[in-house]
């Protein structure tokens, strides 16, 4: 059951993050006011198992969403003492995402667009792809296990 953390360490961390979200508007936009780190860690732990990955292949959109969550949590590190204990695994996860989620921005000039509405005959295409191997998944799992241990879940 992923409801809420039953132990005091995870509860304190969840409460600390809720308070810190008030002073971090960018993180609040990604995490929302009901974010629970214990719930998120347990969800990630379950989603990264071999059986679950075989059953449900992660989409690029889902991976990018997790990257945004990690970035938001990482941006709160200085202002949330409860989150400090997770600094190393969060930083490692952030590094894995930065290395394996690649965004390409391609701008190409359009032809046959003589009467472009705003005088700009270019088109910008943003492509995001996820590269990685089994080692990437192992690295993610290792850091999730560390967070799970630290939160005593």
Domain boundaries, the chain: 8-99+133-150
> pLDDT 10s digit of each residue in the chain, 153 long?
444 445 788 899 999 999 999 999 999 999 988 899 999 999 999 999 999 999 998 899 999 999 999 999 999 998 899 999 999 999 999 999 999 999 998 888 777 656 556 656 778 888 999 998 889 999 999 999 999 999 998
Q: And the tokens for 110?
A: 């359009």
Comparing CA positions, the residue from 20, 24, 77, 69 lying closest to residue 44 is 69
């Amino acid at each position: 059951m992923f409801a809420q953390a039953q132990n005091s360490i995870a509860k304190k961390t969840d409460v600390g993050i809720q308070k810190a979200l008030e002073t971090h508007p960018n993180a609040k936009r990604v995490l929302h006011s009901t974010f629970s780190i214990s719930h998120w860690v347990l969800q990630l732990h379950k989603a990264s198992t071999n059986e679950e990955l075989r059953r449900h292949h992660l989409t690029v959109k889902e991976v990018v969403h997790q990257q945004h969550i990690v970035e938001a949590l990482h941006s709160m590190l200085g202002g949330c003492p409860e989150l400090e204990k997770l600094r190393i695994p969060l930083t490692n996860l952030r590094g894995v995402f930065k290395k394996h989620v690649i965004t390409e921005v391609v701008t190409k000039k359009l032809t046959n667009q003589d009467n472009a509405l705003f005088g700009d005959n270019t088109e910008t295409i943003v492509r995001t792809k996820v590269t990685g191997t089994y080692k990437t998944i192992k690295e993610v799992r290792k850091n999730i296990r560390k967070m799970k241990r630290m939160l005593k879940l």
